[in-house]
Amino acid sequence: MNLERALREAPLPGEGAARERARRTVLAAHAAAPRRTPPRTAAICTAIVLAIAGAGALTRPGQAVAEWVGRQLDAVHAAAPRATPVPRPQRGLDLPAPGRLLVASERGLWIVAGDGASKRLGDWTTGSWSPHAKHIVVASGRTVAAIRPDGTVRWRHALPAHVADPRWAPNGFHVAYRAGTRMHVIWGNGINDATLPGRAASAAPAWQPNAPRTLAWARTDGTVIVQDAYTGLVLWRHKGGPVRHLSWSADGRRLLIAGSRHGAVYTLTGATRRLRLERGETLAAAEFAPVGRQLAIAITAGGVTHIELRGAKAELSEAPEHLRSLTWSPDGRWLVAGWKSGRAYLISARQTDVRGLDDVPERLGGGVRTLGWCC
């Protein structure tokens, strides 16, 4: 019995060297791994480390086991999402796509031209472009107005409640905006201001592309109404949870309806495709591209906001700040994101370029919100 026990406990030839080679392989693989390891990957790596510990101690060909472990780790990391591109600083506000950017900050409303030149329009706090950028519908406090890009006021109305989220229809004939909990529709020339029935939720209305009189808006009870803004005819309705985001696809066939913890894309014939949010994630923003079928979403988790293209394999950008806005370029090739600190990022939809606009807080002020990129 003593001889049998001694034989079992005696080290195998080369066992120590095999264990050391396996340890070095695991450490090297760990050092090369991304810092933010997804939970599923971490579990796989833990299982592999435990396997190598046992295999190195109980088998002679420790080197072969170590090589197998290295191949498995390589496969795991190859399947994981690619690292987020590191933003490169860009001095100046030059835009990489055609058009002009409408921006609100703590210092008022601004237009940023393609060459980076900026023009302040006044103390307005929000706004949106008219078709072809000939006018801008703006709001501040209890006032809504239409102005030219040079700041000239075309019409102005005072309301009994705070005005928010003005949006110009694609044909230029109507403007929708929210005053308190009432949704208003007014003609583009400033006359015939009408209110829609029901209490409006804190979500910006959305005009349907290719159907310029059709408006989608949300009520506080979770009902989304799609109706003809001219006749008032209700074309479609859906009732779900609280609504914070509405966005039409470029072809006008799909409507995104989302709250902070849920969302889905609907067709008016009833088909749906739900957004998948994990526990602890909240939806900060979601916008369809003005061309094509891409949907950009911003998800906040653990204090960090990730901006992704739905269906893409890699994140486009992230920042440990509160996201205030997400806006597409007219050609659908770029996104611009505004953050609470005043910083802004230009993000390529092709996932190859992320630029930090370091001059924004100095030139435009903090609390940046991008309101539209037009023409």
AA identity, residue 147: I
Do 135 and 169 form a contact (C-beta atoms < 8 A)? no
CA distances from 362 to 91, 92, 251, 319 (A): 11, 11, 38, 19
Q: Write the CA distances from 103 to 19, 96, 196, 366, integer angstroms.
A: 61, 16, 28, 11
CA distances from 22 to 18, 25, 47, 198, 284 (A): 6, 5, 14, 68, 45
**Per-domain boundaries in the chain:** 2-79, 102-374
Fold of 102-374: Methylamine Dehydrogenase; Chain H (2.130.10)
* pLDDT in single tens digits along all 375 residues of the chain: 444 444 344 444 454 554 445 444 444 444 444 444 343 333 333 333 323 333 333 343 344 333 433 332 333 333 334 445 566 667 667 888 899 999 999 999 999 998 888 999 999 999 999 998 999 999 999 999 999 999 999 999 999 999 999 999 999 999 999 999 999 999 999 999 999 999 999 999 999 998 889 999 999 999 999 999 989 999 999 999 999 999 999 999 999 999 999 999 999 887 788 888 888 899 999 999 999 888 999 888 887 888 887 655 445 566 666 788 899 999 999 988 887 777 788 888 876 677 877 778 778 888 888 999 998
| 71, 41 Cβ separation under 8 angstroms | no
